């Protein structure tokens, strides 16, 4: 019985060590000429775990999860209309190891192009590992975009932030009626 517990503890420590050392890689690809082929692929220890977010044949956003290249679960994704506000905190606290992003875009309204350009330029370029190529077109008459990129995220930090945001009590939920 003790041997099983020790082996389980060693296995858990090895998984935590792998989570902290090996980042999750996120590959994204989207363009306006072939929008149904929009996809986001994320992987960690590639043959072990992989996920894919894409539009299926019914134009529904779908998540596929693979373990050892075998389909484990398929789930349609829905957008929540109401959130508890922790999602924005989660995105702010997410640490990105490497950002390699290439964007070409233009909108018929130049103000939208400027807004998107401003959002992309707020991505921090404080590391020599980050490579962001931003090509806005303010003079186009048609709307188009083409985005490709690779992002690496520290999986251990991501999971700890997810647990914190899940169990963190928001100040909105605290009642001051009895004080």
Does 69 reside within a domain?
A: yes
Does 156 reside within a domain?
A: yes
Does 12 reside within a domain?
A: no
pLDDT at residue number 147: 92
Give residue-wise pLDDT tens across range 66-85: 999 999 999 998 876 665 55
pLDDT at residue number 106: 93
**What pTM was computed for the model?**
0.74
pLDDT at residue number 115: 93
User: How many Å apart are CA 1 and CA 10, to the nearest integer?
Assistant: 14
Domain that holds residue 131: 22-78+88-168
Q: Maximum distance among all alpha carbons in the chain?
A: 71
- Please identify every stretch of the chain with a pLDDT value under 70, giving residue numbers as ranges: 80-94, 125-128, 168-179
pLDDT at residue number 111: 93
Report CA torsion sign: 89, 62, 152, 116.
negative
Q: Which helix (H) or strand (E) holds 91?
A: helix 86-93
Which residues 6+ apart lie within 8 Å of 50 measured at CB? 41, 42, 43, 44, 65, 66, 69
Does 178 reside within a domain?
A: no
Total of domains in the chain:
1
Does 177 reside within a domain?
A: no
């Amino acid at each position: 019985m003790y041997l099983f517990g020790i082996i389980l503890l060693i296995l858990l420590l090895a998984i935590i060590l792998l989570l902290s050392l090996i980042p999750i890689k996120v590959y994204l690809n989207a363009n306006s000429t072939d929008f149904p082929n929009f996809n986001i692929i994320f992987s960690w220890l590639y043959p072990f775990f992989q996920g894919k977010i894409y539009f299926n044949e019914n134009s529904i956003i779908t998540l596929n999860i693979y373990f050892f290249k075998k389909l484990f679960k398929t789930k349609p994704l829905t957008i929540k209309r109401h959130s508890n506000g922790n999602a924005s905190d989660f995105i702010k606290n997410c640490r990105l190891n490497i950002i390699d992003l290439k964007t070409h875009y233009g909108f018929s309204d130049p103000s939208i192009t400027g807004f998107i350009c401003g959002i992309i330029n707020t991505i921090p370029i404080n590391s020599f590992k980050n490579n962001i190529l931003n090509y806005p077109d303010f003079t186009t008459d048609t709307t188009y975009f083409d985005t490709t990129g690779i992002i690496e995220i520290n999986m251990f930090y991501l999971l700890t932030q997810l647990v914190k945001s899940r169990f963190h009590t928001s100040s909105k939920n605290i009642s001051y009626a009895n004080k």
